[in-house]
A and B are shown apart, each in its own frame.
Chain A
Amino acid sequence: MAQHRVELSQPVSDEVRKTTCYMCACRCGIDVHLKDGKIRYIEGNRDHPVNRGVLCAKGSAGIMQHYAPARLDSPMLRTGPRGSGEFRKISWDEALALATEWMGEVRTRDPKKLAFFTGRDQSQSLTSFWAQQFGTPNYAAHGGFCSVNMAAAGIMTIGGAFWEFGAPDWDRTKLFVMFGVAEDHDSNPIKIGISKLKKRGARFVSVNPVRTGYSAVANNWIGVRPGTDGLLILAIVHELLKARRIDVDYLVRYSNAPWLVIDAPGTAEHGLFARDADGKPLIFETVTERAVPAHTKGARPALSGRFRMADGRPVVPSFQLLADEYLDPKHAPEAVADEIGIDVQVIRGLAAEIGRVAFDEAIEIDQPWTDVHGERHQSFVGRPVSFHAMRGISAHSNGFQTARALHMLQVLIGAIDCPGGFRYEPPYPKPLHAHPRPHGKAEHFGSNQPLAGPHLGFPLGPEDLLIDGEGRPARIDKAFSWEAPVSAHGLMHMVIANAHAGDPYPVDLLFLYMANMAWNSSMNTAGTIRMLEAKDEETGDYRIPKIIYSDAYSSEMVAYADLVLPDTTYLERHDCISLLDRPISEPDSVNDAIRWPVVEPDREVRGFQSVLLDLGARLGLSGFVDHRGKPLYADYADYIVRHERRPGIGPLAGFRGAEGDKTGRGAANPDQLRRYIENGSFFSVHIPEEALFFKHANAAYQDFAVKMGFFDKPQPVTFQLYSEELQKFRLSAEGLREPAALDIHRERILAAFTPLPLWYQPLEEGAVDDGEFPYHAITQRPMAMYHSWGSMNAWLRQIHTKNRLYVPGEICDEHGLVDDDWVWLTSHHGRIKVQIARSATANRDTIWTWNAIGKRGGAWALDKDSPEATKGFLLNHLIHELLPPKGDGMRWSNSDPVTGQAAWYDLRVRIEKAEPGEVSEPHFAAQTADKDVPAELRYGQEWAK
């Protein structure tokens, strides 16, 4: 019989359009295949520096994302009460006129009464610029609830951070240790990298209370108790010091280990660096026995000892303090293993491996280079031990110091930006002082004027805080106040609560973009919903009078907006993945990218960035209108091409100059977007070979960075093992420095702002009774879902249609629980009733679930009885934005006391068996959904062959 004939060589599509994925912040290059004007297939762009052709589940599900019935299709004005989901569709003209009226009025009266907060968008460079021109001090993006601990600790210690700003040297590392990562922003590069190193036989160790995903394939899994990584890291430091496994040469060259710290307790100088008249830090020169400026040629600095300066002040090299601290037996493995919940030998083994690989398996790349002090080196010496960490460390209230400890560990073994180590991704490294100071004090803003400078940045000391004369916060989220002095990304999770409470003041207009604050990105979700619905008893107005929100889909938050500005999908708009923003560079290359409308919107939707430019122009904000008040930019595409932040520096670094042949710096090129599109929608420039490593001190790299326009003069980084900035806050807390910390904050600041990283107990753990709440509860990101926005995707939602609470076998056995049982999970703040599943692959005290699978009925164009709404759930109901009241009735925000990072993973719970149920609790009334949804999908049937 003849064999069935199969059409083997059908063309895939009519046309391929290359753009950039958007289902997460990884921003992979994609090839969008179009057939008959519809999306046929999306695959990874093989040339793209980020993903090299691969694509994750979310990326491949772009078809369903783009055609989801949950897409918004028109601007809307609320008609029913908040939360009801009742709206009237209005025209864009009406919507923009209304928004302009509301905003213009606030801007004239009191610009701080507009609070503009954005979610995980990738256009912070525009949104922050807009907010600055508008003149409100109240702007931030999502970093405060996300991973500011990681960013702040990194920048303050090594001038760069994990997050998406650096990566392990996947091709060379021989030992890779990953702390608390489930997925991260670098999702595809991490997967590609793990695969590479496993193939090479390198060891991969995962430190994580839960063993799934990456941890599942790790050679070794260290199932720590949540919040104890700091103990583990410092015990490793202790072991390495004891074993003399530290890179002394590297420390002297690149860190502040030799810098002299003034030892004058009780004075305003105590613990600060001794400096010369020019402000240069001093070291002690052991040959001439004098304090000389750091990096004085030929000087042999002391790392230990106690000295006196010429003026008699006692000083000590910061490394002496470091060694004294960490050699103390209280940091020994046997002292901390129980608290971490692991075996002493595991800590010793890990420390020994780190030391062995770093020093006995050092690698060398024959490539001469010159450091910033003019010294020529024959090769790059690599300590092939690398680390990566994310929210498992940073989403704890001790996360800042834990992340600092991890950076310190890397510096001690000489493994920052060397072959085989952690490597910076340009434009990082960038030293702390090269970042701006925060702006938002009363003198920084006023009626109808721009803010005096950028909102976000790093205070170098208490004098840079945004507080008034009484020490009260200037910002609505209380960022850069005594509550969270180094909150470099703001505290998005506190905005609604503070605005509702009118503390420090009420706002009139809350302007939100791409953040599902009425659901999964809030702590205390039910409370947040009540706050959004709360009315002033006297006036009958909402406590937060006006809310403007831009979303692309009918999320839970949409129902709480008064005015909805519908965004396009990622395939319908221009976007700019800019070096001024959250860049996509890799350690070897500087990269940026764009999105462009590969399909035309078929609804009344507009790209939010274009809308923002339009609003800026309507409001007459400088930077958005010319001197005659005419709009400067036609739309976002036009802005991307023509906007200049500094002369010759615009949103995109590639194809600049009239001919498109300039990189980094150069005049605007009207043809720039076309050139990007031809190039696959990205631009990549390789870093010169000589500049590839030791970027923090590499003269060739610094020159390259200046040429590219990252900075206008070289900005080398000296690693800050000992942080003088933190010490300044302690001095304020001791009342020794102006402004002095408010009394109520002193204790917290003294404990948390230690200039050398130390571990302290997570705040919630300290505030609740261990016996009453014996277990930890945490969430993990599922790889196939992006927060709340996978559930409207018909393909992705089938993978995670509902979530279970994973309970370790020991706890199941103790409480007589079996799979599918219902339980009450209770925290100091609330309780939820959910279904469990047994698990053997988690720390025995750690209960966990997938993040953001639970949905509110009716949202996302899903049936109100969808499993997401009936069986799915959020842990957020258990997490309060405030810690339990202390003796004096004060309640601190549930955040890291240094950075204000939301402490999602400090949660403590107890578990009890519950009566079987039908729906998870709390269960909320469904939001009205009037979406037409098909009963069956046969996507692509018309192409069936």
Chain B
Amino acid sequence: MTCLPSNPTPKKLGLVIDLDVCVGCHACVVSCKEWNTGGYGAALSDQDPYGADVSGTFLNRIHSFEVLPEGGEVAAERGEARLIHFPKSCLHCEDAPCVTVCPTGASYKRADDGIVLVDEDMCIGCGLCAWACPYGAREMDLAAGVMKKCTLCIDRIYNETIEEVDRVPSCVRTCPTNARHFGDLADPNSAVSIMVAERGGMDLMPEQGTKPVNKYLPPRPRLPLAAAAAGREDTSGATGFFAWLDGMLDRI
């Protein structure tokens, strides 16, 4: 099964992440951790949790980047440098190199919905899949010695013991800005596909040839404030203000 299933899979379940509204709050990071540490597979361990070299396994992390345009809007006294918070978890690639490199078949892509998973009972913890993933979406759990990755909360999205509205990934349910959306990207009529089409959803590192299922919505274009100054009414200074005021009062 390390071979990829028929490509593309009939369903392509994944996330759409909206960079226009992500404020970098890390809510999805921690929600992911708490859901998955007691859920699918081994716990997400933390080494030296109260010590100097603390580190742990996370399936979703938020980076932040500064984007420095040349000659952008002068918002302050400097060019408009932007800060963009950037969530990243497994993109459930169509051509997932992490799957094909796996020597044991532990890594696989589900034929029905395209979710990329690790069967931890088979995983030998060789780490090769993490090397193969250009996105850094796989993390070896140092306590269990097996590879962990985003499961797309497979134990939520199909879970009949929870209410239907809640059958979405933990990170999606918790995101306070609604920057994370879950759905079927193979279905052009799904909400996520429509969003991707309308907002110009993009692939990360398309040059790696992985064909990610997850899409990122770029920040929306922004209109400089200074542009609004041009259209403002000129009432030639303060003169006549009180006369105008009197006129207004008469109309009340």
A interface with B by C-beta (< 8 Å)? 1, 3-4, 6-12, 35, 40-44, 46, 51, 53-61, 63, 69, 187-188, 191-192, 194-195, 198-199, 203, 205, 211-217, 219-224, 239, 241-244, 248-249, 252, 286, 300-305, 320, 323, 327, 341-343, 345-346, 348-353, 355-356, 783-784, 792, 794-799, 801, 810, 839-841, 843-844, 861-863, 865-867, 870, 931, 933-941, 943-945
- Is B177's beta carbon under 8 Å from chain A? yes
* Segment among B87-95, B186-194, B204-212, B231-239 that sits at the interface with chain A: B231-239
CB distance from B141 to the nearest CB of A (A): 9
Q: Which residues of A contact B9 (CB under 8 A)?
A: none
Q: Which residues of A contact B108 (CB under 8 A)?
A: 3-4
Q: Which residues of A contact B39 (CB under 8 A)?
A: 10, 940, 943, 945
Q: Is the interface of B mostly helix, strand, loop or mixed?
A: loop
Whether the Cβ atoms of B223 and A57 lie closer than 8 Å is no
- Is B119's beta carbon under 8 Å from chain A? yes
Q: Which residues of B contact A944 (CB under 8 A)?
A: 41-43
In chain B, residues 68-96, which have Cβ atoms closer than 8 Å to a Cβ of chain A?
Answer: 68, 74-78, 80-85
Whether the Cβ atoms of A192 and B56 lie closer than 8 Å is no
Q: Which residues of A contact B170 (CB under 8 A)?
A: 43
Whether the Cβ atoms of B26 and A784 lie closer than 8 Å is yes
Whether the Cβ atoms of B119 and A346 lie closer than 8 Å is no
Question: Contact partner of A349 among B30, B110, B229, CB < 8 A?
Answer: B229
Q: Which residues of A contact B43 (CB under 8 A)?
A: 938-941, 943-944
Question: Contact partner of A242 among B110, B238, B249, CB < 8 A?
Answer: B238
Q: Which residues of A contact B227 (CB under 8 A)?
A: 349
Whether the Cβ atoms of A6 and B40 lie closer than 8 Å is yes
A844 and B74 alpha carbons, distance in the complex (Å): 13
Whether the Cβ atoms of B38 and A40 lie closer than 8 Å is yes
Known interface pairs A219-B220, A349-B229; 16 further A-B residue pairs with C-beta atoms within 8 A, sorted by A's residue number: A7-B155, A8-B159, A57-B31, A61-B34, A198-B220, A242-B238, A243-B232, A343-B74, A348-B229, A784-B26, A784-B29, A795-B56, A840-B66, A840-B81, A938-B144, A939-B43
Whether the Cβ atoms of B49 and A55 lie closer than 8 Å is no
A349 and B227 alpha carbons, distance in the complex (Å): 7
CB distance from A326 to the nearest CB of B (A): 10
Whether the Cβ atoms of A244 and B241 lie closer than 8 Å is yes
Residue of B nearest to A53 (CB): B173
In chain B, residues 138-173, which have Cβ atoms closer than 8 Å to a Cβ of chain A?
Answer: 143-144, 154-155, 158-162, 165-166, 170, 173
Q: Which residues of A contact B56 (CB under 8 A)?
A: 794-795, 798, 937
* Given A323-B242, A351-B232: A55 in contact with B75 (beta carbons within 8 A): no
B interface with A by C-beta (< 8 Å)? 1, 20-27, 29-31, 33-35, 37-52, 54-56, 58, 64, 66, 68, 74-78, 80-85, 105, 108, 110-111, 117, 119, 122, 143-144, 154-155, 158-162, 165-166, 170, 173-179, 219-220, 222-229, 231-233, 235, 237-238, 241-242, 244-246, 248-250, 252
Whether the Cβ atoms of A783 and B158 lie closer than 8 Å is no
Whether the Cβ atoms of A217 and B235 lie closer than 8 Å is no
Question: Contact partner of B50 among A63, A792, A843, A943, CB < 8 A?
Answer: A792
Whether the Cβ atoms of A304 and B229 lie closer than 8 Å is no
* Given A35-B38, A43-B31, A862-B50: A11 in contact with B161 (beta carbons within 8 A): yes
Output the residue of B64, B144, B229, B238 with the most chain A CB within 10 A. B229
Whether the Cβ atoms of B38 and A784 lie closer than 8 Å is no
CB distance from B187 to the nearest CB of A (A): 20
Whether the Cβ atoms of B175 and A349 lie closer than 8 Å is no
Q: Which residues of B contact A305 (CB under 8 A)?
A: 242
A348 and B219 alpha carbons, distance in the complex (Å): 25
Whether the Cβ atoms of B174 and A198 lie closer than 8 Å is no
Whether the Cβ atoms of B20 and A198 lie closer than 8 Å is yes
Q: Which residues of A contact B25 (CB under 8 A)?
A: 56-57, 187, 191, 213, 783-784
A60 and B20 alpha carbons, distance in the complex (Å): 23
* Given A57-B27, A943-B38: A323 in contact with B241 (beta carbons within 8 A): yes
Question: Contact partner of A350 among B24, B122, B225, CB < 8 A?
Answer: B225
Whether the Cβ atoms of B81 and A188 lie closer than 8 Å is no
Q: Tally A-B pairs: CB < 8 A.
A: 340
Whether the Cβ atoms of A352 and B85 lie closer than 8 Å is no
A301 and B245 alpha carbons, distance in the complex (Å): 11
A519 and B64 alpha carbons, distance in the complex (Å): 29
Q: Which residues of A contact B27 (CB under 8 A)?
A: 54-57, 59-60
Nearest 7 A/B pairs, CB to CB? A223-B76, A940-B38, A352-B232, A191-B176, A348-B229, A349-B225, A794-B49
Q: Which residues of A contact B105 (CB under 8 A)?
A: 1
For this complex, 23 residue pairs linking A to B, each with C-beta atoms less than 8 Å apart, are: A4-B1, A6-B154, A8-B154, A8-B160, A42-B34, A43-B31, A54-B174, A55-B31, A56-B176, A60-B27, A195-B176, A213-B25, A220-B75, A301-B249, A342-B75, A342-B77, A343-B77, A349-B225, A795-B46, A799-B26, A841-B82, A938-B43, A939-B37
Question: Contact partner of A69 among B42, B50, B76, B81, CB < 8 A?
Answer: B50
Q: Which residues of A contact B162 (CB under 8 A)?
A: 12
Residue of A nearest to B118 (CB): A4
CB distance from B164 to the nearest CB of A (A): 12
Question: Contact partner of A933 among B23, B50, B220, CB < 8 A?
Answer: B50
Whether the Cβ atoms of A192 and B34 lie closer than 8 Å is no
Whether the Cβ atoms of B249 and A252 lie closer than 8 Å is yes
* Given A60-B30, A211-B83: A355 in contact with B174 (beta carbons within 8 A): no
Q: Which residues of A contact B176 (CB under 8 A)?
A: 51, 54-56, 187-188, 191-192, 195
Output the residue of A55, A187, A215 with the most chain B CB within 10 A. A55
Whether the Cβ atoms of A304 and B245 lie closer than 8 Å is yes
